[in-house]
């Protein structure tokens, strides 16, 4: 089926060529702040992926079926952020009540996610792309890919950060500056993927 | 609350602290996403800076006015709603009068909503101080943000494109990498290093807690014996105290 091929292309593009952290600079705060330990990085990105998919699943129909027909699309920003904030609360409550084991591993990251710009960014970019080719399924796949891309970047960078700990770094670039330089190099390596998806599946 | 309200403030200091001493981007390390994303050209940087400054001043003013009305438990959603309202207004104005800026800022314009500088100042400052100082604080932080964006935008545009505000410069150098994401990270890192070298402080270890709207619930979680959600959020490492010791 052609459909599947297109979906795979969307998925891979979201992870590699349009990585939300390294290419679009969304979700930089958790990327720089959290990613020192691999476990924390994994938990955080799992929670982000989860919320991204759910948020897109809810905001996309709201925009298409409610805001657009009524001419209220200028309310997109305010509606989306409130929906995301409400959703995160809801997910937290449900997990706490019914799946406590999952809540214990993801729960602490959930409140942080409301203000994570990657989540709001994904829901908005998906709407922006809907004029080109994105239907509901593509939108969901794209947000899932974005979450996985976030995970890949976080885990990779956690490894790099662990190496940095044992390095002898000049005094004035210790701390955040060297972290940013390392991020720059990781992001440089992701530039190598440009054109990959189009040529592989196009 | 009254003690805070009666405290004398120096209007000039309220404005200038945001520009140098507590520069939101280079010292407190807030709002990194737009800083990295829109600084590929000096004009984008100015547009983003002004938009964020307007939102910052307006939301600081309104939140400060409502600081005794908003219940503590729902303050974050209330702040977000207020901020989102102003962002929407700014977005509509920019769309109408500066469509070129709107196009080049794209998604980052609505994303001002989740810019930690704005939520951070609401939580740290406007919710505890009277209206006039809050407005001045917003103005200072906004100017600091805009100045840093302009500096970064200029460096990246001059080195990467050989132009400044779209004007050709003599002896054009075009090091494309500065316009690409890696260049953004690199220039930002170097600027933070430079800022901490000039101010004689240690460079910040990670992104700031001062602006983290969740620092309240973070410390609550820790008090309950839980682990804090963010790795840099250890009680002895908040920028507030870091500034004091230096």
The more confident residue out of B246 and A132 is: A132
- Indicate the number of domains in chain B: 2
Percent of chain B with pLDDT over 70: 78
Chain B window 131-160: which residues touch A at a Cβ cutoff of 8 Å?
Answer: none
The answer to whether residue A49 is domain-embedded is yes
Can you give the pLDDT at residue B166?
A: 82
Q: pLDDT class for A100, splitting at 50, 70, 90? A: confident
What are B194-199's contacts with CB under 8 Å, separation 24+?
Answer: B195/B23, B195/B26, B195/B27, B196/A172, B196/A177, B197/A172, B199/B27
Can you give the pLDDT at residue A169?
A: 84
Q: Chain B contacts of A130, Cβ < 8 Å?
A: none
Can you give the pLDDT at residue B2?
A: 42
Element (H, E) at A28: helix A28-34
Whether residue B76 is found in the same domain as residue B178: yes
Q: pLDDT class for A115, splitting at 50, 70, 90? A: low
The conformational region for residue A167 under phi > 0 = left, psi -120 to 50 = alpha, else beta, is beta
Q: In whole angstroms, how far apart are CA B144 and each of A118, B25, B74, B204?
A: 24, 8, 29, 17
| Residue B145 in tokens | 């943000």
Residues facing B168 on adjacent strands:
B163
Can you give the pLDDT at residue B35?
A: 85
Percent of chain A with pLDDT over 90: 14
Whether residue B93 is found in the same domain as residue B145: yes
Distance CA B159, CA B173 (A): 6
Q: Are B195 and B20 in contact (CB under 8 A)?
A: no
- Indicate the number of domains in chain A: 1
Can you give the pLDDT at residue A201?
A: 67
Residue B163, classed as helix, strand or coil, is strand
Q: Where are the beta strands (DSSP E) in chain B?
A: 163-164, 167-168
Whether residue B80 is found in the same domain as residue B157: yes
Identify the closest residue of chain B to A109 by CA–CA distance: B229
Whether residue B75 is found in the same domain as residue B134: yes
The answer to whether residue B210 is domain-embedded is no
DSSP assignment string, A45-103:
HHHHHHHHHHHHHHHHHIIIIIITTTT-GGGHHHHHHHHHHHHHHHHHHHHHHH-HHHH
Residue contact B230–A33, C-beta within 8 A: yes
Residue B189, pLDDT above cutoff 60: yes
Nearest to A43 by CA among A124, A121, A179, A158: A158
Highest average pLDDT, of A36-45, A103-112, B38-47, comes from: B38-47
**B45-83 pLDDT tens trace:** 999 999 999 999 999 999 999 999 988 878 888 888 899
Cβ of A116 under 8 Å from any chain B Cβ? yes
The answer to whether residue B150 is domain-embedded is yes
Can you give the pLDDT at residue B5?
A: 44
Q: In whole angstroms, how far apart are CA B89 and each of A33, B79, B93, B112, B179?
A: 32, 16, 6, 12, 30
Can you give the pLDDT at residue A130?
A: 80
Can you give the pLDDT at residue B86?
A: 95
| Residue B216 in tokens | 């309240």
- Which 8-state DSSP code applies to residue B164? E
The answer to whether residue B233 is domain-embedded is yes
Cβ of B84 under 8 Å from any chain A Cβ? yes
Residue A18, pLDDT above cutoff 90: no
| Residue A82 in tokens | 């409130």
| Residue A47 in tokens | 């929670």
**Residue of A43, A77, A82 to mutate, testing the B interface (most B Cβ within 10 Å of its Cβ):** A77
Q: Which residue range(s) make up the domain with B116?
A: 10-199
Residues facing B163 on adjacent strands:
B168
The answer to whether residue A201 is domain-embedded is no
Nearest CA of chain B to the CA of A11: how many Å?
A: 20
Whether residue B161 is found in the same domain as residue B231: no
Across the range A115-144, mean pLDDT stands at 85
Residue B94, pLDDT above cutoff 90: yes
Residue B227, pLDDT above cutoff 50: no
Nearest CA of chain A to the CA of B29: how many Å?
A: 9
Could you tell me which residues come within 8 angstroms of residue B73 by beta carbon, excluding any fewer than 6 positions away? none
The pTM for the full model equals: 0.83
The more confident residue out of B218 and B80 is: B80
Can you give the pLDDT at residue B185?
A: 92
The more confident residue out of B71 and A196 is: B71
Lowest mean pLDDT among A53-62, B48-57, B206-215: B206-215
Across the range A51-66, mean pLDDT stands at 92
Residue linked to tokens 């400044």 = B164
Q: In whole angstroms, how far apart are CA B1 and each of B4, B5, B11, B13, B67?
A: 5, 6, 20, 21, 10
The answer to whether residue B224 is domain-embedded is yes
Can you give the pLDDT at residue A165?
A: 81
Residue B10, classed as helix, strand or coil, is coil
Whether residue B193 is found in the same domain as residue B222: no
Residue B8, pLDDT above cutoff 80: no
The answer to whether residue B206 is domain-embedded is no
Nearest to B107 by CA among B37, B57, B157, B30: B37
Q: Which residue range(s) make up the domain with A181?
A: 11-193
**B138-175 pLDDT tens trace:** 999 999 999 999 999 999 999 988 888 888 888 778 88
Residue A126, pLDDT above cutoff 60: yes
Whether residue B71 is found in the same domain as residue B170: yes
Whether residue B82 is found in the same domain as residue B190: yes
Distance CA B95, CA B87 (A): 12
**A59-71 pLDDT tens trace:** 999 999 999 889 8
Q: Are A83 and A124 in contact (CB under 8 A)?
A: no
Can you give the pLDDT at residue B232?
A: 43
**Residue of A75, A81, A153 to mutate, testing the B interface (most B Cβ within 10 Å of its Cβ):** A81
Q: pLDDT class for B203, splitting at 50, 70, 90? A: low
């Amino acid at each position: 089926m052609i459909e599947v091929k297109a979906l795979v292309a969307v998925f891979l593009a979201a992870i590699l060529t349009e990585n939300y952290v390294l290419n679009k600079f969304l979700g930089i705060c958790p990327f720089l702040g959290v990613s020192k330990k691999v476990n924390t990085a994994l938990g955080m990105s799992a929670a982000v992926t989860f919320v991204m998919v759910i948020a897109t699943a809810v905001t996309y129909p709201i925009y298409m079926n409610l805001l657009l027909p009524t001419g209220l699309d200028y309310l997109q920003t305010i509606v989306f952020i409130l929906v995301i904030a409400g959703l995160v609360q809801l997910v937290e409550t449900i997990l706490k009540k019914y799946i406590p084991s999952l809540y214990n591993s993801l729960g602490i990251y959930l409140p942080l996610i409301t203000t994570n710009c990657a989540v709001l960014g994904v829901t908005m970019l998906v709407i922006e792309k809907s004029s080109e080719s994105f239907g509901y399924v593509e939108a969901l796949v794209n947000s899932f890919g974005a979450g996985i891309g976030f995970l890949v970047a976080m885990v990779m960078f956690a490894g790099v950060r662990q190496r940095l700990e044992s390095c002898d770094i000049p005094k004035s670039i210790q701390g955040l500056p060297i972290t940013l330089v390392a991020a720059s190099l990781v992001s440089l390596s992701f530039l190598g993927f440009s054109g990959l998806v189009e040529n592989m599946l196009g | 609350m009254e003690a805070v309200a009666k405290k004398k403030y120096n209007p000039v200091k309220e404005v200038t602290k945001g520009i140098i001493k507590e520069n939101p981007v280079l010292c407190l390390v807030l709002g990194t996403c737009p800083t990295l994303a829109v600084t590929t050209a000096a004009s984008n940087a100015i547009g983003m800076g002004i938009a964020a400054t307007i939102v910052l001043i307006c939301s600081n003013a309104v939140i400060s006015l409502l600081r005794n009305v908003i219940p503590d438990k729902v303050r974050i959603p209330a702040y977000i709603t207020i901020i989102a309202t102003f962002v929407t207004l700014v977005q509509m104005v920019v769309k109408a009068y500066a469509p070129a800026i709107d196009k080049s800022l794209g998604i980052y314009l609505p994303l001002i909503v989740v810019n930690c500088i704005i939520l951070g100042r609401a939580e740290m400052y406007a919710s505890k101080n009277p209206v006039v100082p809050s407005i001045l604080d917003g103005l200072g932080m906004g100017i600091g943000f805009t100045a840093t964006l302009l500096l970064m935008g200029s460096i990246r545009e001059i080195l990467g494109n050989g132009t400044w505000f779209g004007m050709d410069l003599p002896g054009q150098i075009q090091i494309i990498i500065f316009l690409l994401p890696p260049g953004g990270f690199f220039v930002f890192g170097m600027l933070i290093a430079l800022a901490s070298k000039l101010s004689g402080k240690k460079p910040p270890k990670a992104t700031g807690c001062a602006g983290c709207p969740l620092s309240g619930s973070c410390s609550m979680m820790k008090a309950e014996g839980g682990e804090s959600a963010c790795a840099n959020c250890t009680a002895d490492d908040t920028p507030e105290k870091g500034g004091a010791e230096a």
